[in-house]
Amino acid sequence: MKSTRIVFLGTPQFAATILKGLIEQGYAVVGVISQPDKIVGKNKEKKPTPVKEVATFYHLPVFQPLQLKEDYQFLIDLAPDLLITCAYGQILPQAVLDIAKINNINVHASLLPKLRGGAPIHRAIMNGETKTGVTIMQMVKKMDAGKMYAKKEILLDDDINTTELFEKLQVLGRDLLLATLPSIIDQSNKGIEQEESEATYAYNIGREEEKIDFHQSCKDVHNHIRGLSFVPGAYAYFNGKSLKIFQTKYTTMAIDTAECGTLKNENKKLYVRCLDGYLEICLVQLEGKKMMSAVDFMNGQQWNAVKVLK
């Protein structure tokens, strides 16, 4: 069974954890496909994707087509029995899905049919979900709409952020895939069709969505901030500069007549006015500066006038 020829498609650290699990369990990964390397830094150096780094460490062949739908002859040549994808970043055309002899499966970070799409972890937190999880599903042409072979859920508390949830779900996804894979390969797992009427979507986060709207409830603002923490980071404008806010806490501070976005500096703590009360701001990054505590941020400011986040 572990001689099954697998081609793995993925890009970020989440997918790298899945790939490493497959390799360490002895599965025959005959090729790895990832997004092209990114150009980063002032020196414009190429940075390999986390999946490429894992594949290179284990001496696996890596392919990085700019557009897989236009360049997949190498995949035909690999003659895979099974394609496994996880956060690859490109839609697989039907011609590619037709290549694998056994099946095409995906590790998706939500409890399908909820939160189909490219940002299910961010959206779960931003939406204030109380649980989420991982689904092992069949890849079909329609986005995240294939049969489900296994699901595993995790409960969410009010303070978990996206970075922390990524770390939990990538381990959950790895373990669930490894537990489910034998029944997919021997085709005893027939899967369950998704209920289309229950489908919701988790579209990628646009820059315009990263800006914080303090004319919302404390709960909605808190969920927005932790849902974008630490990447890409939710932001507002402070004295004309971008201020990213990475962590907030609920407070019992009484509501007053201050406008939404007003900052209060009291008892060595920083608070911001929302629609129905105040949130404590804990961790920030001012444009051009490093990430710092709210206390350190306050120490660098003059507080002899009202300050408002826009």
**Residue 23: predicted pLDDT:** 97
50 vs 53, 99, 216, CA distance in Å?
Answer: 5, 25, 37
pLDDT at residue 43 greater than cutoff 80: no
Regarding predicted confidence, which is higher, 273 or 46? 273
Asked whether 63 and 74 are in contact (CB, 8 A), the reply is: yes
**Residue 152: predicted pLDDT:** 98
> Comparing 118-132, 182-196, 208-222, 290-304, which segment has the lowest mean pLDDT?
290-304
Which domains can be identified in the chain, with CATH numbers? Answer: 5-198 (3.40.50.170), 207-308 (3.10.25.10)
**What is the enclosing helix (H) or strand (E) of 236?**
strand 234-238
> For 188-205, what is the mean pLDDT?
96
Asked whether 9 and 34 are in contact (CB, 8 A), the reply is: yes
Task: Report residue 305's pLDDT band, with 50, 70 and 90 as the boundaries.
Answer: confident
pLDDT in tens, 204-246: 999 999 999 999 999 999 999 999 999 999 999 999 999 999 9
- Pairing status of strand 82-86 against strand 103-108: parallel
pLDDT in tens, 124-172: 999 999 999 999 999 998 999 999 999 999 999 999 999 999 999 999 9
pLDDT at residue 84 greater than cutoff 80: yes
**Residue 208: predicted pLDDT:** 92
pLDDT in tens, 243-283: 999 999 999 988 899 999 999 998 889 999 999 999 999 99
**Residue 42: predicted pLDDT:** 75
pLDDT at residue 63 greater than cutoff 90: yes
Asked whether 148 and 141 are in contact (CB, 8 A), the reply is: no
pLDDT in tens, 3-37: 999 999 999 999 999 999 999 999 999 999 999 99
User: Each residue of 2-40: b (16+ CB within 10 Å) or e?
Assistant: eebbbbbbbbbbbbbbbbbbbbeeebebbbbbbbeeeee
94 vs 31, 144, 194, 201, CA distance in Å?
Answer: 19, 14, 20, 22
What whole-number distance in Å separates Cα of residue 104 and Cα of residue 83? 5
